[in-house]
Every structure is written in structure tokens, then in C-alpha cells.
Amino acid sequence: MEDILLSAVDRMQKEGAEFCDARYQTLGNATIRVVDRSVRALTQEKMGGVCFRARIAGSWGYSTTVLLDRRSLIEACLLATKNARLGGSKGAKLPELPSVNRRLRADVNIHPVDVPIEEKLRHVEDLDAALKVEDRVVNTNAIYNEEVRTNLLMNSFGSSVKWEEVRVRLMAYAIASEAGRQEAYYEFVDGTKGFELVKGTDIGAMGGSCGQEAVKMLSAKKPPSGYMTCISDPQITGFLAHEVMGHACEADEIVKKRSFLTGAVGRQVASELITMIDDGTVKDAYGSIPFDDEGTPSSRTVIIENGVYKGYLQSLETAAEMGVRPTGNGRAQDFGRRVWVRMTNTYFGPGDWTLEEMIEDVDSGILSDKGISGMEDPVGGGFEAKALRGFIIEKGKITDMVRSFTVTGSALQILKTTDAVGKSVSLDGGNCGKGIEDIVPVSSGGPHCRSKLVVGGG
Amino acid sequence: MELESLVRTAYRTAISDKADQVEVFGIVSRTMSVYVEDSAIKNMEQKVDQGIAVRVAKERRLAQSSTSCDSVKDAEACARAACRLAELSPADKNFRRFPDGGEATFAPRVWDEKIASLTSEDLADLVKSVVDCSVEKNGTKVPKGMIRTARAETRIVNSNGVDVSHANTMAYLHFTAMTIGERPGEGVEVFYTPHLSDVDPFAIGKSLKAQAKASAQAVPFRGRRAGETLLTPGNLSEMILSSVGFAIDGENVHRRRSAWAGKVGQQVASPSITIVDDPGDERGMLSSGFDDEGVPTAKRTIVEKGVLKGYIYDSYCASLAGVEGSGNGLRRSAEDAQGIYRRALGIQPINLILVPGKKSRESLISSVEDGVLIERFAYPEVNPFTGAFGLEVRCGHLIRNGEMVQTFNRALLVGNMFEALMNVNEVANDMTVVRSSILPTVSFDGIELVGSS
């Protein structure tokens, strides 16, 4: 395959590509899903294909194929250069970068492909069984997923990079029901780790706790609505980092002036308590990558430091447009999808408050507990995130549990009014789309943060 | 290697590996996508994809393997992997058999030769038309946009007599327009069709410009109100699919995850609400005479004048519930033809149609004394278990005495979709295809809007 990719790169250059690359990728997934003490899915997926990219005068031509014979591949690479000519974008020439020649295996202790299916199945069945803590738990679900991704990339800088990524995720969710009311609760662990992630998890405790919390939620009250003090937990804090501040600092949005953070470098955009980072090198985190899908090594980018905006996330192209170095954030869902600027592990840094101290100061407010989802708004800077549940705070004390609610507000307003930042930072993995597609693995997080938000739940 | 040979090879391999029952799903597709950035074509893509998914049963032990597929060797390896996994799986007492073959009673026209034979030059011209109609000098630009067209041919065979083929085309557009200036406003237009002639660049551009300009005038909503709320099809689709779509899923009903479990024959919505699933509707992105297990599909009434009439099933969950399958076992997608073989088979409506009323959207608005129309949420999702929602409004309009008087943003719309369906004022007739649904604007009563002070 290396020979063919090299020939294709050469051919695309001869056809007029100012920059080009060829990437062969394989994806292997295994999924086990156990529902109500019965195996509902035992599946294996394999996918392999090649993506050719050619850039001419600011436009890209792509051609991807799963047909891997030499003739199909050469035809595909010619299509890439032809497609690039149909574009109308103007753009800076990509500066010649030093070539990268590396070979990397995933840094895992127990490679998941070496673990027998029976052993994986046993853990998932145990997790499902542990969820059934009592009769009010009417539905139990335990899901294991592993992904092994191999990449071989060659480009017109002369780079030749081959690397492997391994991700494992174990998830439990339980539905509790009483008097016609249903509530759901979930727990998960994940990372760029091997099967040691599962072996190191106390399956019984994870399942038991998840089942019990689902039952507790049956007595959760309707959440309040209005503008109020909210202490966001690390997941909701992470959604603010990722969805609003993170997507808006992806430099493709900056280059076309679609982001509310365009021209923000050097400006005070948040309280001095706030520092925000994107770091693709965090060991074991779900969004970590050794290289992005352009072959640039991943890196740590400080986005906000003590409230001052520092910089953006870059691909090869946006870095050329803005005259800076690429940060290793050019990512694609797979070989069949385009590369554009994406986050890796995005989080707010720690402060010096304990959660107890934050709660003590609140006369009336709400504490969120676990996230469901968030949505980006690079144009308007609006923040929206859904919490799985929360707790009412009255006169410095936690009182009632409330069910799912949404928090919203202007991201910059929230960050400027943040008056307490917690000591402890945690990251949670997930899958991020840009718009509604192009899904890549990421993580986000931060500490507990206290600010003013609009809260509402049905 | 032709898809037919790959499907047959996988089938024979699984049978020779002593599978009791075998199902092979194969798909070959060609996709073209054009991405626009800053009102110019940025990326032009062409993609060739081909793959299979093999499901096998060995003494009620079930497993699936899927692969992108270029050769006989790939097909054989995929079938063997499925057989090996099945041997390791515990027996499933709920499994009976893969579906039996049957005749389709209709064949909706969802193949458009214009899309099938489209060249990249043709597609670039279409994109330029949409951009030209959306751009206004010193007024609006198109920061990003995308058109994807695809043609796909699907083949399904199983050891119980299923032997079907299906071919379809699709065009999916997603464009944004933005006003130029200090406080930009943004409009979003999403369009789905199996037929290229339905794409009207002028109408798309006109809507984008109007949305962006209105959005630029938006002011943050203050205070709170509860009253008449009009939800447009682009928002309502996801809200209905994530609540009603989840509640009528036969597996969710069986596992007591559905809020509508045990409610057949009961009033679950206002009498003005009738919902059908119609796989024969030629406007629909997923329409077909067969589902992705090869089961013949049929038009089904889900809710009639507010009364729940039934649920939808794939063959496994029909067996679980002890009922006939409804032909709703799907892998296909309304937005994409790539990687479909990788998707797990799941229960989905094919075309969930909310039957229209008699009034146009404009006529509905003119009859509102005091209400709001929501044009765009951050994302219109609903808690599928409870129906609860709290949705950030990115662009809404206050309506007074039949006129839209002010555009607003920065508000939360708070309510419960299952309760909202019981409080419908009126249904309009502006039917719009959104993903796997076709529906109009609907006016609801009693949903709360919460602002920032």
C-alpha cells in the first residue's frame, strides 16, 4: 500500500496539486450489548479505504474509495485533482513543512484484539446484572465498544506516518419506572486505553450505583425555571468549554469570520479565574491522538489564560491562512469524510474552591449533576447544555433533587460572571459532530464552576 | 467485484460454515458532496463505497459482522467472522427466525436518473446557483453550505426466502447565510429530497436571506410567558421523531422504556393529530417497498384523531412481542449513503407523516392574538423517556394580533412533548420533508418561554 500511496501523491503533484496527501485507514470495531440479562448484539465491524486530497489555489478535491486495487486507486487520485479544480476558493499557499517519518503502535497494556470475546462478554453480562438492584429498575443495558484504527499517511511534504489508535468504552444505563413515570441514569468509563480499562473497573459497583441512582430519580422534582445561580458540574462545565468556546476557536470559523471569537486574541474575554486548554496529548483521554489526520503531531494549545484569549486551533490550511503553526487539530471522522479543524480534549483549568465552599455561599440556586448533551453556537456565542439531573441549593445547603433541565446563556457573559472555580478537574469522553455530522472522538471537562445562567426543564 | 457476487459469496460461506440461518445485506453507493465556505466552493468530493453486513444464527445464537468489501476474500472473511461470533454468543430464547420472504405491494419512485448520472460539474453549477441566490452585496454571505447527492443499490438475501433489491437516490442540502456587519444574524436551511427537480435554489436563497436578516434584529427575550407556540417543521421533526418515534418503537414498548407502552386505544394527542407511517410516499428519503431485512412495508396509522393505534417493529422485536413485523427494521439514512452496512439494524419509522390541516402557515399566524413562532433552536431534542424538553431559542418571533412584531433569541422553551401533543390548537398544511418525517407547522398551547431576567 505504501508504494501505491507514494505513486498517487507523485501523480497528484504532476496533475497540478500544490499540496496533496493519501491516507489509507482501517477501522475495526467490536460491540457487545446486553439488555435485560440477554445478549442483544454481538457485532464486529471492519472498514478500510483510502482518501486522496489535492489542494489547488485554495480549494480541495477529495476522492475516497474502498476499492483497493491499483487501477481504482490511481483513478481515484486523478479525480481528487480534477475535483480541486472545480472549486472557487482563494487561499494562501501551504508553506512547506518538515517531513515527518514515524511509526507508532497504540500505547495500551492489554490490546483489546488479544482478549477473547468470551471474557469481554462476561464483563458486560456482569455489568447488566448489577444494574438490576430492585423491581423498579425495569430495563437494564450494558454496552461495550472497542475501536482499533490504523492510519498510513503520505503527503507532498515527503511525510510518511503510520500510527494506531485504540479506544475502549464501557457504558451502563438503567430505566426505573413507578406509577407511569420513567427516569434514566447512566455511568460510563472510556479512554484511549486497552482492555485494562474494563479490568480496572469495579463492575458491580458501577452497575449497582447506576441502578440505585435511576430509582432515586423517580422522586426528583420538577426543576425551577429562571435566571439563577448555577454550579455546573465538570460535565456541564466541559460542555461550555467544548460547545461554545471550543467550536468557536476552531480556526476555520475564524478565517471566514463566522465565530464570535474572531479577533479575540489578546482580549480579556473571561474572569481572571478562567484558563482553557485543548490538549491532544493527555494520556489515556478519549480525545487524544498521536497525529491528526494530516499527519501533524497533536499538541497542547492554551486558548484562554487567566481570562485573556490566547489562540486558536489550527489545521495545515488555517495555519497557513493565519500565518501561524498548525496545532494538530485537522481531523476527520474516517477516510470517507473531509478533514477540518476539530478539538481533542478541551477543558477549563482548576481554581482553588472546594464544592462545599461554593455551595455554602449560595442563598438560592441549583447544582447540575451529569450532562446529556450540548450544542455549539460559534456565531452567536450562545450556550445550551442539558443536565441529567440537579439539586436545589437553599441557604447554603443542598435540598431537593430535580430531574433533567437545560441551562443557557451568553458564553462570554457566563465566563465574565464566573465567581468560583473548583479545585478538581475531570474529563469525560464523547463523540463530537460539527453541525450534525463528521463525528470524532473527543473529551471535555473542567472543575465545578459557579455562574449565573437561565435554567429550565419540562 | 460486483455487489451481487459478494453477497452470494458471503451467503454461501455462512451456510457452509454451518449457520442455521443467514441474512446478507449489501449496498454499493456513489456519493458526491460539495462544501461551500465564504460563498465559494471549498471542497468537492466523490466517494465510492461498497460493503456487506452478515447476520447468522446457529441454534438461536446470533451475531453480526460487517465489512467494506472489495473482494471475494473480504466477503468470505466477513461471513466466517459472523459464524465464529455466533458460536461464542449465548442462545437467545427470544429469537425465532429471520423474516420470511414476501411480495412488496408498491414500489415508490425514489430513483432519479438526474441524480444518478450527475457529474461533478453539474453539482458545482447547482451549488453556485444556491449561493448566488443567497448572497446579497453588503447584505448576506454564505459562510458554509453543503450539497450531498448519492445513488445507492441495496441487496438483501436470507435463508428463509428473502431475495430483494432496492435502488434509491438522494439529495441533501444544508446551508447557512449570515448578515455582514457588527452583530451578524444567521439563517439555516436544510432540504431533503430523492428528486433533483425539487431543489429550488431561489426559494432556498430567499428563505436563508430572510432568516439571517431577521436573526440580526433579534433581541434577548426577557421575562416569561406561557401561551400559543407555533413550531415549524424543521424543529418539530426532531421533537416528534425523538419522542413519538421512540414511544412507538416496539422494543421500547416491550422493555417498558416507552411513555406510550400499554396505551393503544387511548387518547395520546389532541383530536386534530393524525400520524401515519407511509413507506410508499415518493417524497420520503427512506421510502421503499421493503425494509432492510427484506420485509414488505405497508402504510400504517400510528395515531388517529389523537388515539394511539399501534407500534412499529422489526422482525426480532415483533417476535419478542408476539406480533407480526411491520417492516420497520432499518439501517438506511436520510442524510447519507456511506457506511450503511456498518449500522446496526434498528426500529425506525420510514416516513412519519403528520397529516396536515387546511390552513397555510401564514393563515395560522394571522389567527394568533398573542403567541410566538419558533424558527430555530440550538438543537430541538426531547428526552425520549419522559418527553421533557428545555430548548434554547436561537431565533423566534413574537406574534401580536396576527403579525410577527419582534424577533428574539436567548430564551428557553420549556415543556413536555407528550403533554404538548394533548394541547394542540391547530395544524397547518405547509408539509415539509425533514429526515424520515413529513410534517407541517403546528400550534401548541401552554408551552413556557423563559428569558434571562
Q: Assign residue A136 the CATH number of its domain.
A: 3.30.2290.10
Q: Which residues contact B178 (CB under 8 A, 6 or more apart)?
A: A258, A379, B140, B141, B142, B143, B184, B185, B186, B187, B212
Backbone φ/ψ region at B14: left (φ over 0), alpha (ψ -120 to 50), beta: alpha
Averaged pLDDT score across all residues of chain B:
95
Share of chain B above pLDDT 90, in %: 93
| Domain stops at, among A165, A194, A219 | A219
Give me the residue from A60, A69, A121 closest to B43, CB to CB: A60
> B-chain residues within 8 Å CB-CB of A250?
none
A193 vs A196: CA distance, rounded Å: 7
B79 vs B66: CA distance, rounded Å: 8
Give me the residue from B86, B257, B450 closest to A225, CB to CB: B450
Cα B257 versus chain centre, distance: 21
- Asked if A240 and A304 sit in the same domain, the reply is yes
Q: Which residues contact B207 (CB under 8 A, 6 or more apart)?
A: B187, B189
B215 vs B236: CA distance, rounded Å: 19
Residue B32's pLDDT band (cuts 50, 70, 90):
very high
Residue B197: count of CB within 10 angstroms of its CB: 10
Three-state SS at B449: strand
Min CA distance, A408 vs chain B (Å)? 7
- Asked if A332 and A374 sit in the same domain, the reply is yes
Cβ pair B29, B179 in contact under 8 A: no
A340 vs B118: CA distance, rounded Å: 26
Position B350 pLDDT exceeds 70 = yes
- Asked if A114 and A140 sit in the same domain, the reply is yes
Average pLDDT over residues B242-256: 96
| Segment B262-305, tens digit of pLDDT | 999 999 999 999 999 999 999 999 999 999 999 999 999 999 99
Name the helix (H) or strand (E) containing B390.
strand B388-400
Contact B336 A38 (CB under 8 A): no
Contact A39 B46 (CB under 8 A): no
> B-chain residues within 8 Å CB-CB of A86?
41, 44, 120-121, 124
| Segment A350-406, tens digit of pLDDT | 999 999 999 999 999 999 999 998 888 888 888 889 999 999 999 999 999 999 999
Short-list B83, B89, B84, B86, CA closest to A121? B89
> B-chain residues within 8 Å CB-CB of A48?
68
Three-state SS at A355: helix
| Segment B126-174, tens digit of pLDDT | 999 999 999 999 899 999 999 999 999 999 999 999 999 999 999 999 9
Instruction: Compare all CA atoms of chain B with the CA of A410 and give the residue at the minimum distance.
Output: B410
- Asked if A107 and A150 sit in the same domain, the reply is yes
- Asked if A162 and A309 sit in the same domain, the reply is no
Which CA distances in Å does A435 have to A312, A379, B97, B188? 19, 12, 40, 11
Three-state SS at A271: coil
Instruction: Compare all CA atoms of chain B with the CA of A137 and give the residue at the minimum distance.
Output: B256
Min CA distance, B385 vs chain A (Å)? 6
B393 vs B6: CA distance, rounded Å: 49
Give me the residue from A89, A338, A384 closest to B392, CB to CB: A384
Q: CA angle A220-A143-A34, nearest 5°?
A: 95
Complex ipTM: 0.90
| Domain stops at, among A167, A184, A219 | A219
> B-chain residues within 8 Å CB-CB of A379?
178, 184, 186
Name the helix (H) or strand (E) containing B253.
helix B250-254
- Asked if A169 and A307 sit in the same domain, the reply is no
> B-chain residues within 8 Å CB-CB of A385?
none
Contact B186 A454 (CB under 8 A): no
A176 vs A181: CA distance, rounded Å: 8
Cβ pair B143, B178 in contact under 8 A: yes
- Asked if A213 and A176 sit in the same domain, the reply is yes
| Segment B213-229, tens digit of pLDDT | 999 999 999 988 998 99
Give me the residue from A83, A121, A457 closest to B414, CB to CB: A457
B391 vs A407: CA distance, rounded Å: 9
Beta strands in A57-180 (DSSP E): 59-65, 101-104, 137-155, 160-178
Beta strands in A264-307 (DSSP E): 276-279, 300-305
Position B346 pLDDT exceeds 80 = yes
Query: For chains A and B, what is the number of CB pairs under 8 angstroms?
Result: 251
Min CA distance, A101 vs chain B (Å)? 27
Q: A167-199 b/e with 16+ CB inside 10 Å = b?
A: bbbbbbbbbbbeeeebbbbebbbbbbbbbbbbe
| Domain stops at, among A175, A203, A219 | A219
- Asked if A205 and A158 sit in the same domain, the reply is yes
Name the helix (H) or strand (E) containing B346.
strand B346-347
- Asked if A354 and A385 sit in the same domain, the reply is yes
Instruction: Evaluate the CA torsion angle A206, A207, A210, A213 in order and state its sign.
Output: negative
Min CA distance, A274 vs chain B (Å)? 23
Instruction: Compare all CA atoms of chain B with the CA of A173 and give the residue at the minimum distance.
Output: B257
Could you give the domains of chain B?
Answer: 3-216 (3.30.2290.10), 219-450 (no CATH)
Give me the residue from B40, B67, B224 closest to A89, CB to CB: B40
Domain count, chain A: 2
Contact B37 A184 (CB under 8 A): no
Scanning B344-431, the segments in alpha helix (DSSP H) are 361-366, 417-421
Cα B132 versus chain centre, distance: 28
Residue B453's pLDDT band (cuts 50, 70, 90):
low
- Asked if A214 and A230 sit in the same domain, the reply is no
- Asked if A308 and A418 sit in the same domain, the reply is yes
Q: B133-152 b/e with 16+ CB inside 10 Å = b?
A: bbbeeeebbbbbbbbbbbbb
- Residues making up chain A, counted from first to last: 458
Domain with A367, as residue range(s), is 226-456
Joined grid coordinates for residue B245: 418515534
Q: A350-365 b/e with 16+ CB inside 10 Å = b?
A: ebebebeebbeebeeb
Instruction: Evaluate the CA torsion angle B370, B375, B377, B382 in order and state its sign.
Output: positive
- Asked if A274 and A298 sit in the same domain, the reply is yes
Cβ pair B140, B176 in contact under 8 A: no
A332 vs B49: CA distance, rounded Å: 17
B442 vs B233: CA distance, rounded Å: 8
| Segment A173-215, tens digit of pLDDT | 999 999 888 999 999 999 999 999 999 999 999 999 999 999 9
**Can you tell me which residue has the cell 454571505?**
B141
Residue B390: count of CB within 10 angstroms of its CB: 27
* Residuewise pLDDT in 10s, chain A (458 residues): 999 999 999 999 999 999 999 999 999 999 999 999 999 999 999 999 999 999 999 999 999 999 999 999 999 999 999 999 999 888 899 998 999 999 999 999 999 999 999 999 999 999 999 999 999 999 999 999 999 999 999 999 999 999 999 999 999 999 999 988 899 999 999 999 999 999 999 999 999 999 999 999 999 999 998 899 999 999 999 999 998 899 999 999 999 888 889 999 999 999 999 999 999 999 999 999 999 999 999 999 999 999 999 999 999 999 999 999 999 999 999 999 999 999 999 999 999 999 999 999 999 999 999 999 888 888 888 888 999 999 999 999 999 999 999 999 889 989 988 999 999 999 999 999 987 789 999 999 999 999 999 998 86
A42 vs A144: CA distance, rounded Å: 10
Min CA distance, B131 vs chain A (Å)? 12
| Segment B178-221, tens digit of pLDDT | 999 878 899 999 999 999 999 999 999 999 999 999 999 999 99
Short-list B74, B77, B212, CA closest to B136? B212
